[in-house]
Amino acid sequence: MKPNRMLEEPLDPYLPHNGNRGYRVSRYELELTYKVFSNRLAGKAVITAVTTESRSKFSFDLAQNLQVSKVSVNGARGTKYAHLNNKLIITPSTKIPAGGALSVTIAYSGNPEPIKSLWGEVGWEELDEGTLVASQPNGAASWFPCDDHPISKASYRISITTDSPFYALANGKLIRKQTRASQTTWVYEQTEPMATYLATIQIGQYEHRQVSAGPVPVFAVHPPRLRAAFDVDFGRQPQMLEVFEKLFGPYPFADYTAVVTDDELEIPIEAQGLSIFGANHCTGRRGSERLVAHELAHQWFGNSLTLGQWCDIWLHEGFACYAEWIWSENSGGPSSNQLATNAYQGLGRKSQDLIVANPGPALMFDDRIYKRGALTLHALRGVLGDEKFFELIRQWTTKHRHSTVSTEQFTDLASRFTDTPLRPLWDAWLNQRPLPRL
């Protein structure tokens, strides 16, 4: 009996049921209609891919509560499919050779809801008036069929039709807006490659405005009542961009948008080209500015440079946490040294049972990953000195712009900036549980 090709080794042991083999997606075109008050989503997804091997079946990730009504492959009608265990398994009428074009059209509908995961509920979330999408790490399938793994980066066109009083935002540039009767259609084009978990839809009673016309345009999307508070709490984003571009290299996208929802959020969330904050982060007292810097830094570390395996999450969170410290010392706040000392003392009071370079899925978003990842970079900066350290960071973001990265790639690049062996540093900070001396 032949083994089931759908039951292969997982692409990533942290998310063993996510991602698919046999093809590589280059583009998603999503045509969505959403009724806010009934939380009803109807969608058509056109997925363009190239096959990497010849196989009789292909699968996509799609939440089981969304019902599929029609599937076609390369224009052929009557394509067979089965939707089981959050996998849409498609059988083309003719076998497609390796390197062949794969264009899949999927019509589906349902009441979207978050996917329950080890890290809580992720994906499409219904708000009091609107919706929020935060898909890290495996929530994209809650609202569209996809190859839901970060190595699968593609361009997107997202069309969202919703009730006219609401503002609808997605990744990329707004290329068309059209109102008919009581509904408005918003069409966004995301040209730079994007991981599925970074795709987002935000719908609410929002105003949209440009708050900075600098080299990187900065936009605000928020409830009108939060306008004055937003201008205080997010007012220094243009200066953050200036500091980060100088130290990290050019901003990797066309513009940047900060979204504030009318609801409270426990933590902010990054998406490609934008970040989402709760109303509790917008109080007019600038109390969440480190988080504003953190989410902006993710545009370089996480969105442009995206991990290939979730065990390397420190490449996102350690870098973004260190960006908080860099912003602090460049804006009149405590120095990186002071903040590193504080973080080190805090870690010393916590359990020493975590390996940064492979924390395991349960600890993937543990705060110790953030702080110890940042301390790893601070230790490296101490070895290299400021000039070489920031030149390394700029080379890192330039060389791997809009691509997939690994810890090994970073450590290999860093070794070119010093004659001092760095292996003891990596072993102590990334590969061993005990907290090394700072």
Domain residues for 157? 23-116+136-198
Work out the end-to-end distance of the chain between its first and last CA atoms, rounded to an integer number of angstroms. Answer: 57
pLDDT digits (tens, 9 = 90+) for 236-259: 999 999 999 999 999 999 999 999
* Pair (295, 312) in one structural domain: no
Give residue 33's pLDDT.
Answer: 98
Residue 158 inside a domain? The answer is yes
Distance CA 262, CA 265 (A): 9
What percentage of residues in the chain have a pLDDT greater than 90?
A: 97
Tell me whether residue 367 is in a domain: yes
The answer, yes or no, to whether residue 1 has pLDDT greater than 50, is no
Q: 279 and 312 in one domain?
A: no
Both 409 and 327 in one domain: the answer is yes
Check which CATH number belongs to the domain holding 247 and give it: 3.30.2010.30
Q: Is the peptide bond between 137 and the residue preceding it cis, with omega within 30 degrees of 0?
A: yes
What does the alpha-carbon distance between residue 326 and residue 294 come to, in Å, rounded to a whole number? 10
Instruction: Please give the residue that has the higher pLDDT: either 5 or 275.
Output: 275
Shared-domain flag, residues 107 and 235: no
- Are residues 49 and 150 part of one domain? yes
- Give me the pLDDT at residue 78, please: 79
Q: Which residue, 268, 299, 330, sits at the end of a domain? A: 299
pLDDT of residue 24: 98
Quick one: 252 and 397 in the same domain? no
Same domain as 181, residue 32: yes
HSE-CB at 116 with a 13 A cutoff on CA atoms is: 2
Q: Are strands 154-163 and 183-194 parallel, antiparallel or unpaired?
A: antiparallel
Domain count, the chain: 3
Same domain for 403 and 331?
yes
Task: Copy the structure tokens of residue 196.
Answer: 């599925």
Instruction: Give percent of the chain above pLDDT 70.
Output: 98
Do the domain assignments include residue 129? Answer: no
Average pLDDT over residues 278-291: 97
Is residue 15 included in any domain, yes or no? no
Residues 6+ away with beta carbon under 8 Å from 215: 241, 245, 251
Taking 60 as the threshold, does the pLDDT of residue 56 lie above it? Answer: yes
Query: Of 337, 339, 338, 363, which is closest to residue 350 (Cα–Cα)?
Result: 363
User: For the whole model, what pTM was predicted?
Assistant: 0.97
Tokens of 198: 């970074």
Q: Are residues 161 and 229 in the same domain?
A: no
Domain contains 36: yes
Of 299, 317, 345, the position where a domain reaches its end is 299
Boundary-marking domain end, from 299, 333, 354: 299
How far from 4 is each of 55, 57, 82, 377, CA to CA, in Å? 11, 10, 14, 44
Q: Is residue 338 one of the residues assigned to a domain?
A: yes
Q: How confident is the model at residue 423 (pLDDT cuts 50, 70, 90)?
A: very high
The yes-or-no verdict on residue 45 having pLDDT over 70 is yes
> Which H/E stretch holds residue 383?
helix 367-384
- pLDDT for 3 beyond 50: no
**436 in a structural domain:** no
Reported confidence tier of residue 8, pLDDT bands at 50, 70, 90: confident
Same domain, 258 and 158: no
Q: What CATH number is attached to the domain comprising 97?
A: 2.60.40.1730
Q: Is 159 helix (H, G, I), strand (E, B) or coil?
A: strand
Domain shared by 162 and 40, yes or no? yes
Q: Which residue blocks in 257-311 are alpha helix, DSSP H?
A: 289-297
Q: What is the pLDDT of residues 173-187, one digit of tens each?
A: 999 999 998 999 999
Is 17 within the bounds of a domain? no
Q: Which stretches does DSSP call E strand in 284-429?
A: 305-307, 403-405
Domain of 316, CATH number, reads 1.10.390.10
Q: Kindly report, residue by residue over 61-119, the tens digit of the pLDDT.
A: 999 999 999 999 999 987 999 999 999 999 999 999 999 999 999 999 999 999 999 99
Q: Are residues 170 and 54 in the same domain?
A: yes
Q: What number of H helices and E strands is found in the chain?
A: 9, 22
pLDDT on residue 4: 46
Look up residue 97 and give its amino acid. P
pLDDT digits (tens, 9 = 90+) for 182-206: 999 999 999 999 999 999 999 999 9
| Mean pLDDT, residues 360-380 | 97
**What average pLDDT does this structure show over 195-221?**
97
